[in-house]
Structures are given as structure tokens and as C-alpha cells.
């Protein structure tokens, strides 16, 4: 959740904890009471996005009750009476609202919104939905969102946060401000909504619902029949064009000019073309007049149609030699097939696109568009998944199930923190925002006060107790001492970050499985006792992940999008940062780098397997003259290094073997996730740097041999990483 200026981290933490406890109660209640969902569709384009969700809702009648409302251009003959395809999909349409005022100009659009606002209240009052699904950026959708918001109906907006040209941007953002929940397609759209002060906990990064069907579209065997039906018996795959151009409502005359130039270019290019009529926006009537003046409907190379069912339309796009126009389908759906696209004008300015899109924003001449056709026609590009991975519907249905209907309907906007006037609070001026960092090692338990700049202000160290009760008691005692000292050090403690060995569920603050070095430390809830005693929010993660977080915030990984941190010592651990985010994995065991197998017949590892990297870096060694070790002290990495320096061949051999094994493991990592940087941390990192680089140069693929390998410069990566979980939260990074 992104905090607003009126909430401090303590309040937000306990609110989040309360919400987590209530989630189970809501889900049990939901099993007994169906969620009433109203899906309102205005045109053929939004139905292609809403239909997969509608099918998903319909398939779970024990959870959902679906109500379908149809309005807008669905009910107009000139635009294909597309409500019939909804009926053909066997959806029960509860209400059909004729809301379009003909005229296809700016005034008609305004009047259509007004007409919809007059008719919608009766329908919404009768249906009384728990949630209204609204899609996109059409003026019809704005009427829907306005009516629902004023009638205290929860709104789930699909595809908010995106950027494009024309009045669509303003309408889309207006709907987002009216909506209570959001399902977005891309991470950029998610960030845009957050920057618009929308509540992060009410935003779902789902992907585009239409992609659920798109990504399996190539599996159909009847695409050749579809091509013959719509374009002609003599037309072959990738030897035709799909054209779809809509008016730009903020620059109607220029968009009509571009449309005319596009038609001239297509006539000259002399390829069979499927051209769809423009949508109902202001200016569409003039575009149709241009089409008819040029005789497109009678031209032998053109097939002009008002509507093609979506499942057939995507087949036509998937197998086209090129798509041209300014439809969002070109910059979104076509990318799923690698179909070459020519995007004309400014209607889609700002949209995220794949490499398959060639932009002709200043489409001011026939020759420029013709040249673009020459460049794009017949090419194929890699398929793009910018807008989805095929699992959007599943995510959206699950998201809806956990909407809290008892939550107050009033929207809460998460405004950025407002800086206080520094002349009014001298204590606030002098205090340094800081975190308590806790590091549980196999031998020692450490607590530190860490400030925002990564400086360890104060550090406390004790031997790690052997029992759970003693360990928790000591953690609390040391933290309370640190909090008392923080007052005198002018440090404001914002929360507690805990770094520990073993497999950790950071979402719930639980150690699932510990290392053998820490006794009684499996299936342990660390967050609850610390938070309850200190009244502070608590974050927990394993020491390898914390080392990666420390590098991301304070070390070599700062500003690096993809890197791996590897802790080297008597064992091997680490963390992976991918696209600036820490990777945990589905069962929280991602980045168990020490257990990458580099030899099928290698030594036995503590995990029970053979040939792990860690097995090569934890062997005991023979002591040499001049080296003293207490009989009760276990031989460790420091002893190994000292022995090697004193010329012990066994120690040198172990270090060389371990360095080679580590290098092989890192080569595997480079080939799997392709980071741009590998950071070695820990007491053995300097000794492993050169062997690792040597193995990479010998064994890695040529494209991965240039990966940087660096030794960490951080003194306390586990403590700094634990602190960063707290400090990143206060600076509104999601963790």
C-alpha cells in the first residue's frame, strides 16, 4: 500500500495486518454469497477485452452473478449491430440502452453522454450490482463511470493508466479518478496510476484480457478459411493488408486528411486490403464520405466491412502481411503475433509498442505512407508480450473475489508526503530517519541503527542463543536498547528489518526452514512478537536476499536493473534483482545459488545432494605451522585464507576448487537470467574474483562473457539489506 501524508508507517502496518486477517473471513463469506457483477459494453472494441472476463465470470456461477448491459454503437446498424455477437456468445443481455445521438461530431458526442446519464440510473438501480466493470477510454464509458460513482456502486476500471493521444487520454484518466479499483495491462500503467495518487493496494497488474485468447490464436487450423471468407479465395497468408483508421477528435480535419492519404497509398500499393469502417467518434461521417468518394467499396483490391467478430479478426491480423491505421489493435494486439504495423498520426502517441510498429506520426504525404508500406509489408517480428502473458482473466477474477464490500466506498487518494515547514519543529529537523536492522547469523546476533544514507550509526553484538525463546527475548532486549539509544542519537526509528539464514516467507514474516547453524528456527513467526513488543512495522527476509537489497540501495547495484549478488564464505548464498525487483520465487526459494549443482559426482552437500557449489566451499582443511585454532572453534573461511597465505597446499587447492565451482555456477546463472552485473560479497570474495572471471571467459557463451564481476565494498551487507527493506518503504518503494 502506498501511504498518504496523513498516515505514518505504524498506522499503515497495522491496517495492512488487519486487512490480512479479514481476508480469510471475507473469502468464507463470499462462498455463501455470490458477487453481483455488472459488465457494461459500449462497442466492438471494448467487448473484445470484456468478453474473456465475462466467460470467466459465467463459468463460476457459484461465486459470481453476471449482469450484462449493452449500449452505445453496439445497437447501431451502420456499425454492424454488434450486440448480436454478444447474444451469439450466449450471454443474457439484461438491458439494451440506445444512447447514441447521431451526427458524428463533437456536439453529438456530448449529447450521447448526456443521454446515457439520463437512462443509466434506472438500469443500475434495478440491477444493484456489487461491482461495475468499465473498460477503456470511450465517452460512453465515461457516462457509465459517472453514473455508477454518483450511485455509490464500486467501479473496476480496465486498462487505466495508459497514455495515448486525442481526448481519449483525458477520458481514460477521468474514469480512473472515478473508479475504486483498477486492472492494468503494463507496469508503466501501474506506475502512472500510482503517480496519479491512486491507492496501490487497489491496483492489479493483470495484463490485457484479450491476450488470453491472442496468445493461443496460432493454434487454430481454420485461419485460411477465415481469410477466404473475408478477403477472397485467391488471397494467401501474409499477402494482404488490414486497415483500420479512426478519427482524432482533437484534430478532426488533419485525421481526415491522413485517412485520404492512407487510402491513396493503399490504392497505389496494389495489395488486397481488408478495411474496416471507422468508429463512431466525431469525424467518422466525413471519413466514410472520403472512402465512398474514392470508390473503396467497389474497388477490386478492397473489402470494406463494418465489423468482423473478434476471434476471426485476430486471425486476419495474425496472418496479415501488414496492418495500417491508428487503431489500438495495431500497437497492442498485433504485437502478440509479430505482425508488422504502420501507425499513422498521433492517436496512439505515448502507447507502449513492440518493435513491430513503425510510426508515421507526421503522415503528411502519400509517398511517406507508401514508403512505410514498402518497408513493413511481408516482414515478421518477434512476438511481444508487453500487454499480457495470457493469464489476465484468472488474476482479475481472483482480484474481484477479495474486494471488501464492507470497506467504506469513499475513495482514498494516496497523495505524496507534504514537507513540513522546517521552522515549526526543531526536533524533526534534527532527527535522522533510520531503521533497526537485525542480523541472525550462525554464531552472532547483531542489531544496528542504520540511517537513510546507509551509515551504521550504532551496532550491538551478542552470541546467538540456542533456543527460540532465548533468541526472541535477546532480539527484543537489544532492539529496545537500540531504540533508547536512538533518542540520544537523534534517530527516528521507522521500522525493523530482519535478515536471517534459511528459507523465508517475507510476505508473512515467517522462517519456513532454517539452516543447520541456527537451532529451533523453522516454521517461526518472527514478525508478530517483534512488532507486538516494539509497536513498529517489521520486514523479514533471508540473508542472501538482504545482501542483494543492500547492493541495490547502497552498493554496486545502485541504478542497475538486473544483477546477482553472491555471498561467499564457508557456504554460498545470494539474491537476484530482476527489473529492479527482488526475486523470491513461487515457494520463496529463488536464489538458492549455493545449491546449483556443478558436478554429478561431487562431494555431499549439507542439503543432502551432491556436487553443489556449497559442497566445494565448506570442506575442512589441514592446519599448518604458525596457525592456531581453539579446539572448540570450528575451522572457517578465515582459517582457510590464513592457511593458504602460509602456503598450505590443501587450503590452496580447496580455494581453487571452490572458486572454479563458483565460476561454473555463475556461468549457469548468466545463461539463465542474463544479469549485467555479478557482485561477490563475503570474506572469500576477493579470492574468488579472478577464478570466477577466468571460468566465465572460458565457459560462458560469447554474449555473456562481457558480464561485469565486482567485489562488494559494503562492510555489513546483511544489516544494510535488512535496513533497506524499512527505508525503501518510507521512500515509497514497494517491496
Q: In this structure, how many other beta carbons lie within 10 angstroms of the beta carbon of residue 633?
A: 9
Quickly list DSSP for 415-482: PPPPPPPGGG-HHHHH-EEEEEEEEE-SSEEEEEEEETTS-EEEEEEEEPPSSHHHHHHHHHHHHHHH
- Residues annotated within the binding site for Zn(2+) are 595, 605, 607, 612
H-helix or E-strand spanning residue 512: strand 510-513
Q: How far is CA 587 from CA 424, 584, 608, in A?
A: 49, 8, 19
The closest of 198, 208, 205 to 175, measured between CA atoms, is 198
Over residues 352-363, the mean pLDDT reads: 86
Which set of grid coordinates corresponds to residue 381? 517480428
pLDDT of amino acid 325: 93
The closest of 299, 291, 237, 227 to 270, measured between CA atoms, is 299
- 94 in helix, strand or coil? strand
Which set of grid coordinates corresponds to residue 546? 538482504
Q: Does the structure show a pLDDT above 90 at 554?
A: yes
For residues 613 and 597, give the distance between their C-alpha atoms in angstroms, rounded to a whole number: 6
Q: What percent of the chain has pLDDT over 90?
A: 53
Quickly list DSSP for 143-166: HHHHHHHHTT-EEEEESTT---ST
Quickly list DSSP for 48-88: HHHHHHHHHHHT-TTTEEEEEEEEGGGG-GGGT-THHHHHH
What is the arrangement of strands in the sheet containing 510-513, beginning at the earlier edge strand? 503-505, 510-513, 524-525
- Give the model confidence (pLDDT) of 457-515 as tens digits: 999 999 999 999 999 999 999 999 999 999 888 888 989 999 998 899 999 999 998 87
In 467-626, where does DSSP find H-type helix? Answer: 468-488, 527-534, 543-554, 613-616
pLDDT of amino acid 717: 94
Write phi, then psi, for 619 (nearest 5 degrees).
Answer: -75, 145
For residues 535 and 546, give the distance between their C-alpha atoms in angstroms, rounded to a whole number: 23
Q: Predicted confidence band at 620 (pLDDT cuts at 50, 70, 90)? A: very low
Cell 456461477, located at residue: 61
Q: Does the structure show a pLDDT above 80 at 179?
A: yes
Q: Does the structure show a pLDDT above 90 at 569?
A: no
Q: Does the structure show a pLDDT above 60 at 442?
A: yes
- Give the model confidence (pLDDT) of 651-694 as tens digits: 777 778 778 888 998 999 999 999 999 999 988 888 889 889 99
For residues 16 and 297, give the distance between their C-alpha atoms in angstroms, rounded to a whole number: 60
pLDDT of amino acid 607: 76
pLDDT of amino acid 637: 64
Entry field: residues in the chain: 735
**Of 222 and 469, which is predicted with more confidence?**
469
pLDDT of amino acid 498: 96
Q: In this structure, how many other beta carbons lie within 10 angstroms of the beta carbon of residue 519?
A: 14
Spatial contact of 445 and 474, defined as CB atoms under 8 Å apart? yes
On the CB side of 58, how many CA atoms lie within 13 Å of its CA? Answer: 14
pLDDT of amino acid 26: 59
- Give the model confidence (pLDDT) of 304-342 as tens digits: 998 888 889 989 999 999 999 998 888 888 888 889 999
DSSP annotation of 185 reads S
In 272-357, where does DSSP find H-type helix? Answer: 284-293, 310-318, 328-331
Domains contained in the chain, CATH given:
32-208 (3.40.50.2000), 214-376 (3.40.50.2000), 425-555 (3.30.420.40), 557-713 (3.30.420.40)
Lowest mean pLDDT among 138-152, 280-294, 409-423, 491-505: 409-423
pLDDT of amino acid 647: 77
Q: Does the structure show a pLDDT above 80 at 264?
A: yes
Q: How far is CA 40 from the centre of its chain?
A: 27
pLDDT of amino acid 213: 79
Q: Does the structure show a pLDDT above 50 at 44?
A: yes
For residues 49 and 196, give the distance between their C-alpha atoms in angstroms, rounded to a whole number: 24
pLDDT of amino acid 735: 34
pLDDT of amino acid 443: 85
Q: Does the structure show a pLDDT above 60 at 426?
A: no
For residues 714 and 139, give the distance between their C-alpha atoms in angstroms, rounded to a whole number: 55
Dihedral sign for Cα atoms in the order 184, 188, 194, 200: positive
Q: Does the structure show a pLDDT above 50 at 423?
A: no
Spatial contact of 190 and 184, defined as CB atoms under 8 Å apart? yes
Q: What percent of the chain has pLDDT over 70?
A: 88
pLDDT of amino acid 624: 42
H-helix or E-strand spanning residue 9: helix 9-32
Write phi, then psi, for 719 (nearest 5 degrees).
Answer: -65, -45
Over residues 144-173, the mean pLDDT reads: 90
Which set of grid coordinates corresponds to residue 471? 533468541
pLDDT of amino acid 2: 44
Spatial contact of 2 and 199, defined as CB atoms under 8 Å apart? yes
- 357 in helix, strand or coil? strand
Q: Across the chain, what does the average pLDDT equal?
A: 86
Dihedral sign for Cα atoms in the order 625, 627, 630, 631: negative
Q: Which burial class, exposed, middle or buried, applies to 575 when counting CB atoms under 10 A from its CB (0-12, 13-18, 19+)?
A: buried
Spatial contact of 656 and 688, defined as CB atoms under 8 Å apart? no
- Residues annotated within the binding site are 595, 605, 607, 612
Q: Does the structure show a pLDDT above 70 at 553?
A: yes
On the CB side of 641, how many CA atoms lie within 13 Å of its CA? Answer: 13
Positions marked catalytic: 543
- Give the model confidence (pLDDT) of 133-146 as tens digits: 999 888 899 999 99
Q: Which burial class, exposed, middle or buried, applies to 412 when counting CB atoms under 10 A from its CB (0-12, 13-18, 19+)?
A: middle
Q: What is the largest CA-CA distance in the chain?
A: 100
Dihedral sign for Cα atoms in the order 647, 650, 653, 658: negative
Q: Does the structure show a pLDDT above 60 at 273?
A: yes
Q: Does the structure show a pLDDT above 90 at 252?
A: no
Cell 536476499, located at residue: 545
pLDDT of amino acid 591: 79
Cell 463470499, located at residue: 30
pLDDT of amino acid 87: 93
What is the arrangement of strands in the sheet containing 241-244, beginning at the earlier edge strand? 302-305, 273-276, 241-244, 322-325, 341-344, 357-360
Q: Does the structure show a pLDDT above 70 at 359?
A: yes
Q: Does the structure show a pLDDT above 70 at 5?
A: no
- Give the model confidence (pLDDT) of 11-37 as tens digits: 666 666 666 666 656 555 555 579 999
- Give the model confidence (pLDDT) of 382-393 as tens digits: 887 788 888 899
For residues 73 and 290, give the distance between their C-alpha atoms in angstroms, rounded to a whole number: 21
H-helix or E-strand spanning residue 499: strand 491-500
pLDDT of amino acid 424: 44
Q: Does the structure show a pLDDT above 70 at 48?
A: yes
For residues 676 and 239, give the distance between their C-alpha atoms in angstroms, rounded to a whole number: 41
Amino acid at each position: 500500500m502506498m501511504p498518504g501524508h496523513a498516515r505514518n508507517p505504524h498506522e499503515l502496518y497495522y491496517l495492512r495486518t488487519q486487512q490480512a486477517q479479514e481476508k480469510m473471513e471475507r473469502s468464507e463469506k463470499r462462498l455463501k454469497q455470490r458477487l453481483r457483477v455488472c459488465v457494461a459494453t459500449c462497442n466492438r472494441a471494448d467487448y473484445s477485452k470484456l468478453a474473456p472476463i465475462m466467460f470467466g465470470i459465467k463459468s463460476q456461477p457459484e461465486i459470481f452473478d453476471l449482469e450484462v448491459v449493452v449500449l452505445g454503437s453496439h445497437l447501431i446498424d451502420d456499425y454492424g449491430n454488434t450486440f448480436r455477437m454478444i447474444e451469439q456468445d450466449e450471454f443474457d443481455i439484461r438491458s439494451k440502452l440506445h444512447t447514441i445521438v447521431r451526427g458524428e461530431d463533437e456536439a453529438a458526442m456530448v449529447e450521447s453522454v448526456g443521454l446515457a446519464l439520463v437512462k443509466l440510473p434506472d438500469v443500475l438501480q434495478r440491477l444493484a450490482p456489487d461491482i461495475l466493470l468499465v473498460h477503456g477510454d470511450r465517452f460512453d464509458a465515461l457516462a457509465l463511470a459517472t453514473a455508477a460513482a454518483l450511485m455509490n456502486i464500486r467501479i473496476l476500471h480496465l486498462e487505466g493508466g495508459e497514455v495515448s493521444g486525442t481526448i481519449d487520454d483525458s477520458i481514460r484518466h477521468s474514469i480512473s479518478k472515478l473508479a475504486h479499483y483498477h486492472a492494468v495491462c503494463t507496469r508503466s500503467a501501474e506506475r502512472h496510476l500510482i503517480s496519479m495518487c491512486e491507492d496501490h493496494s487497489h491496483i492489479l497488474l493483470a495484463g490485457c484480457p484479450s491476450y488470453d485468447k491472442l496468445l493461443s490464436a496460432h493454434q487454430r487450423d481454420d485461419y485460411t478459411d477465415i481469410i477466404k471468407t473475408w478477403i477472397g479465395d485467391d488471397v494467401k497468408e501474409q499477402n494482404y493488408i488490414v486497415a483500420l483508421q479512426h478519427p482524432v477528435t482533437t484534430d478532426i480535419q488533419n485525421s481526415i486528411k491522413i485517412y485520404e492519404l492512407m487510402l491513396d497509398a493503399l490504392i497505389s500499393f496494389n495489395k488486397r486490403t481488408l478495411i474496416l469502417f471507422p468508429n463512431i467518434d466525431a469525424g467518422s461521417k466525413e471519413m466514410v464520405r472520403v472512402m465512398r468518394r474514392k470508390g473503396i467499396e467497389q474497388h477490386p483490391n478492397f473489402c470494406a466491412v463494418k465489423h468482423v467478430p473478434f476471434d476471426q479478426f485476430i486471425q486476419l491480423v495474425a496472418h496479415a502481411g501488414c496492418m495500417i491505421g491508428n487503431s489500438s489493435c495495431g500497437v497492442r494486439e498485433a504485437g502478440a503475433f509479430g505482425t508488422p504495423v504502420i501507425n499513422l498520426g498521433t492517436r496512439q502517441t505515448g502507447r507502449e509498442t513492440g518493435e513491430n510498429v513503425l510510426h508515421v506520426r507526421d503522415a503528411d504525404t502519400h509517398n511517406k505512407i507508401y514508403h512505410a508500406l514498402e518497408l513493413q509489408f511481408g516482414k515478421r517480428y518477434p512476438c511481444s508480450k508487453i500487454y499480457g502473458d495470457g493469464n489476465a482473466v484468472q488474476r482479475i477474477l481472483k482480484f474481484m473475489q477479495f474486494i471488501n464490500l464492507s470497506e467504506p466506498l469513499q475513495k482514498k487518494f494516496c497523495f505524496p508526503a507534504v514537507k513540513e515547514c522546517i521552522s515549526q519543529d526543531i526536533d524533526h529537523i534534527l532527527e535522522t530517519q533510520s531503521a533497526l536492522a537485525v542480523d541472525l547469523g550462525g554464531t552472532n546476533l547483531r542489531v544496528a541503527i542504520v540511517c537513510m544514507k546507509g551509515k551504521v550509526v550504532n551496532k550491538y553484538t551478542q552470541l546467538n542463543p540456542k533456543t527460540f525463546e532465548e533468541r526472541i527475548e535477546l532480539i527484543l532486549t537489544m532492539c529496545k536498547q537500540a531504540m533508547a539509544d536512538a533518542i540520544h542519537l537523534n534517530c527516528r526509528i521507522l521500522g525493523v528489518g530482519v535478515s536471517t539464514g534459511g528459507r523465508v516467507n517475507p510476505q508473512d514474516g515467517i522462517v519456513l526452514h532454517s539452516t543447520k547453524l541456527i537451532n529451533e528456527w523453522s516454521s517461526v513467526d518472527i514478525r508478530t512478537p517483534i512488532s507486538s513488543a516494539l509497536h513498529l512495522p517489521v520486514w523479514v527476509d533471508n540473508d542472501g536476499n538482504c545482501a542483494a537489497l543492500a547492493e541495490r540501495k547502497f552498493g554496486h547495484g545502485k541504478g542497475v536493473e538486473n544483477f546477482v549478488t553472491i555471498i561467499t564464505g564457508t557456504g554460498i548464498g545470494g539474491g537476484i534483482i530482476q527489473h529492479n525487483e527482488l526475486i523470491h520465487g513461487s515457494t520463496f526459494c529463488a536464489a538458492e545459488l549455493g545449491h546449483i549443482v556443478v558436478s554429478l559426482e561431487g562431494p555431499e552437500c549439507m542439503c543432502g545432494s551432491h556436487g553443489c557449489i556449497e559442497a566445494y566451499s565448506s570442506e575442512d582443511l589441514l592446519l599448518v605451522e604458525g596457525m592456531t585454532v581453539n579446539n572448540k572453534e570450528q575451522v572457517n573461511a578465515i582459517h582457510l585464507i590464513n592457511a593458504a597465505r602460509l602456503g598450505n597446499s590443501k587450503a590452496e587447492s580447496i580455494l581453487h576448487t571452490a572458486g572454479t565451482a563458483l565460476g561454473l555456477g555463475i556461468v549457469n546463472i548468466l545463461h539463465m537470467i542474463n544479469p549485467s552485473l555479478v557482485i561477490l560479497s563475503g570474506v572469500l570474495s576477493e579470492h574468488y574474483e579472478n577464478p570466477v572471471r577466468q571460468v566465465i571467459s572460458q565457459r560462458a557463451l560469447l554474449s555473456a562473457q562481457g558480464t561485469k564481476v565486482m567485489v562488494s565494498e559494503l562492510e555489513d551487507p546483511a544489516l544494510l539489506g535488512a535496513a533497506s527493506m524499512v527505508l525503501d518503504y518510507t521512500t515509497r518503494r514497494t517491496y
